[in-house]
Structure 1
Amino acid sequence: MYQPRPGDLLASLDTPAMIVDGQLMEENIARLMARFRETPVRVRPHLKTAKSPELAHRLLAAGVIGCCVAKVSEAEVMALAGIEDLLITSEIVGPPKVTRLVNLLRRHPRIKVVVDSQVGIQVLSAALEVADLHLNVLIELNVGQNRCGVAPGEDALALAQYIASMSHLHLIGVQGYEGHLQHIHDLQERTRRCREAMHLLTTTAAQLRTAGFPIEIVTTGGTGTAEICAQWEGVTEVQPGSFLFMDTDYRNALGPVYANALTILSTVISLPSPNRAIVDAGLKSLSIDSGMPEPLGLPGVQYQPAGDEHGVLFWDKQTNAARLQLAIGDRIAFYPSHIDTTINLHDTYYVCRNGVLEAIWPVTARGKVQ
């Protein structure tokens, strides 16, 4: 059975395959770090996108201060690979998760979590007391996304006071993620609404400090808003993740700020009609929650899934010349519309440079959703 190796030609890979352009990815990292180099704001990239310890180590080498993960299971993967400064950005609720967190903390005490309820705080505190462990926590604030998070202001202050009554929990910061603003196309509108969210976040942080709480971390921001957040006094770190590879949803909102460095490579397996081609990449290879992926080099050609394993390329009569350029066996690459959910469909990154396979990285945290 063929096993790809570094040094093989890209053309030798079977499809569907997830391809990383090594040079473009490195340029994206360098570009992001340069944007924050002259600011006091630090970068804590979110690994829910990359799901790879290899990429986490590369980001740390580039100068990030630590990393975010979404779930305890992702933290387990990253901590095992030696990434110690981790913030888990989703609330940890339920005995299985709490037990896993406690077991993780025994070996990796620098892990931090977010909280937004007295119930969650009490359960964490009880488990930590039994284990004789201590945990640093951040209050998650609702800054407009209306997902998790306590209301800014008095509600956050009340929660901080409750945390203070727990001897094994230590409040060190606040998190406020404006995820609902990441893909707003109009820069002025995105900036205005992001500043409103930052006002809620930093004002609450200041209120907590005035009340005597040692708020060291004010963390926020994604790929679409990180630079706006960094301009707001009081923000200490940002959490971009998709900048590594990008997708069409972010590109359409931000423009060419970062390069699309990841594609899904497919093969044309059938040409059943003059304006339709079938590729071997369907719903198990390309996510469509943010729209359809974009075929490269085929203007006017559109994609839609045709089941788990198949995708359809189609075009109208005015684009019929594209039909003449396609043949069974041709390779078609796609830009994903949503990078996070597409990466989670694949086991392997194939890192290429100039048409040659340079490295093979497992998507180690794929499927780690607990």
Structure 2
Amino acid sequence: MTAMPASSENSHLIGQQGGRKSLNTPALVLEKAAMLRNIERMAAFASEKGVSLRPHAKTHKSVDIATLQLEAGAKGICCAKLGEAEALAAAGPIPNILITSPVVSAPAIARLAKIHGETEALMVVADHPGNVSNLARAFGEDAPLGILIDIDPGIHRTGVASPDAALALAREIARQPSLRYRGVQFYCGLHQHIKSYAERRAAIIERTGYLRGIVDQLADAGFVPEIISGGGTGTHEIDAELGLFTELQVGSYVFMDNEYGECELFGDAENFEAALFVDARIVSCNTPGMATVDAGFKALSTDGGTPVVTDGAPDGAGFIFMGDEHGGLLAADHEFEHGAAVTLQVPHCDPTVNLHDVYHVVDGDTVVDIWPVTARGRSR
């Protein structure tokens, strides 16, 4: 595993039984055994269903976790941004990276050309002929860049907007000797968090029908996709059942945050295990039934609701954000202990991870390692 950052103020706790309770907080905490079970479970699922895994590293931004996923059988990884790919490839090596957002600006394309020369089997998505032309000028026939056509699933964020546009882009890519058409990407991000399994399944069946029509049109024109990449933690079981994707871009399964914890991910099975937490500490408790902890907006993402208190407070205790540095615990008639440790399950894992420098990897209450968040802040 990667050497921990020398500046980590909690490194002296590694190996100390019960050291988790002494962490300098707020601290991002990873329960390793639960994470490994999640990785193994998803790998076994993919093997059974005959589909490949390309886990999304935007979730964890960690060369250590990406390596574990590859060792478990993943064919490669996804990165949302070029900067993530650069960081993970430099710390790895991590081969077979797909960058799932278009790389458009001239400086970014120059960086893409550099990492392409240093990384095995790099691919990127495109959704515009102008981008394809600019990419083609930056690469050579001796080492063509792999391209997936990004297809808009209906949210109008990125992706070609029609079957005809997909076909036109495939023809444009094929005309460029420095590029190699590899297939398509189709990521239904908004569908991942539909709470009802039945409603989510119905929505994905409809969207997959749309994608199937595009794939058929491409194939009829001689552009059979080698790769059909997409799906996610929320839809992976349904995606595998429908049998169109060749690989799944699952991400949050490795940690399970509150957003996914509230969804029926499976028709007849338990969800993945929660493995990612922020440990905090009570710094004030002068108001009856209320305490203040040292974790606020700077320690926890806010776009997925509020964290769930899993330890250090009574069952059912609530959490409220109280500013940049603080959060509040609410439990009527409870007398909180000043200085006590509190564990919070994160609302949304991806942006929460991006707020921290390191993972404190634990086995029970023992800190067993400290891993860097390798691609923290690499949003360009």
What is the match of residue 283 of structure 1?
297
In structure 2, what is the Cα distance between the partners aligned to 1:240 and 1:314?
35
Q: 1:38 aligns with which of 44, 48, 68?
A: 48
Q: How does 1:57-68 map to 2 (within 5 A)?
A: 57-68=67-78
Matched, 1:6 2:14: yes
Q: Give 1:186 deviation, angstroms.
A: 1.1
What is the match of residue 92 of structure 1?
103
SS in 2 for 1:173: strand
In structure 2, what is the Cα distance between the partners aligned to 1:25 and 1:2?
21
Q: 1:264 aligns with which of 278, 285, 289?
A: 278
Matched, 1:332 2:375: no
SS in 2 for 1:253: coil
What is the match of residue 139 of structure 1?
149
Q: Give 1:35 deviation, angstroms.
A: 1.7
Q: Give 1:96 deviation, angstroms.
A: 1.5
Output the amino acid matched with 1:50: H
What is the match of residue 251 of structure 2?
241
SS in 1 for 2:94: coil
Q: Say whether the 8 Å CA contact 1:152–1:200 is kept in structure 2.
A: no
User: Any idea what the Cα deviations from partners look like across 1:28-53, whole Å, max 9, x if unmatched?
Assistant: 11111222222221111000001000
Shifted more, 221-230 versus 7-16: the winner is 7-16
Q: 1:160 aligns with which of 157, 160, 170?
A: 170
Q: Say whether the 8 Å CA contact 1:265–1:332 is kept in structure 2.
A: yes
What is the match of residue 125 of structure 1?
136
Q: Give 1:295 deviation, angstroms.
A: 1.1
User: Any idea what the Cα deviations from partners look like across 1:74-102, whole Å, max 9, x if unmatched?
Assistant: 11112121111000000101112111101
Matched, 1:312 2:323: no
CA RMSD of aligned residues (A): 1.6
Shifted more, 360-369 versus 197-206: the winner is 197-206
In structure 2, what is the Cα distance between the partners aligned to 1:248 and 1:109?
35
User: Any idea what the Cα deviations from partners look like across 1:102-149, whole Å, max 9, x if unmatched?
Assistant: 1111122410000000111111112225x9641010000012232101
Q: Say whether the 8 Å CA contact 1:230–1:237 is kept in structure 2.
A: no
Q: Check 1:94–1:207 CA distance in 2 against 1; reply closer, same or farther (3 A cut).
A: same
User: Any idea what the Cα deviations from partners look like across 1:176-214, whole Å, max 9, x if unmatched?
Assistant: 000010110111110011111212223212221221124
What is the match of residue 3 of structure 2?
none
Q: Give 1:351 deviation, angstroms.
A: 0.9
In structure 2, what is the Cα distance between the partners aligned to 1:260 and 1:359?
19
Matched, 1:56 2:75: no
In structure 1, what is the Cα distance between the partners aligned to 2:234 and 2:57?
16
In structure 2, what is the Cα distance between the partners aligned to 1:303 and 1:150?
42
Q: Say whether the 8 Å CA contact 1:301–1:314 is kept in structure 2.
A: yes
What is the match of residue 293 of structure 1?
307
Query: How many equivalent residue pairs?
Result: 363
Output the amino acid matched with 2:321: P
Q: Give 1:22 deviation, angstroms.
A: 1.1
User: Any idea what the Cα deviations from partners look like across 1:311-333, whole Å, max 9, x if unmatched?
Assistant: 11124xxx32xx22x21111111
Q: Give 1:301 deviation, angstroms.
A: 2.0
Q: 1:101 aligns with which of 105, 112, 132?
A: 112
In structure 1, what is the Cα distance between the partners aligned to 2:237 and 2:291?
41
What is the match of residue 22 of structure 1?
32
In structure 2, what is the Cα distance between the partners aligned to 1:242 and 1:257?
12
Instruction: Report the TM-score, using the length of structure 1 for normalisation.
Output: 0.94
Which ranges in structure 1 are unaligned for 5 or more consecutive residues?
none
In structure 2, what is the Cα distance between the partners aligned to 1:63 and 1:133?
26
Q: Say whether the 8 Å CA contact 2:11–2:370 is kept in structure 1.
A: no
**Identity %, equivalent residues:** 38
Q: Give 1:357 deviation, angstroms.
A: 1.0
Output the amino acid matched with 2:15: G
Which ranges in structure 2 are unaligned for 5 or more consecutive residues?
1-8
SS in 1 for 2:329: strand
Instruction: Report the TM-score, using the length of structure 2 for normalisation.
Output: 0.92
Output the amino acid matched with 1:291: G
In structure 2, what is the Cα distance between the partners aligned to 1:139 and 1:270?
53
What is the match of residue 264 of structure 2?
254
Q: Say whether the 8 Å CA contact 2:94–2:119 is kept in structure 1.
A: no
In structure 2, what is the Cα distance between the partners aligned to 1:121 and 1:238?
24
In structure 2, what is the Cα distance between the partners aligned to 1:56 and 1:218?
21
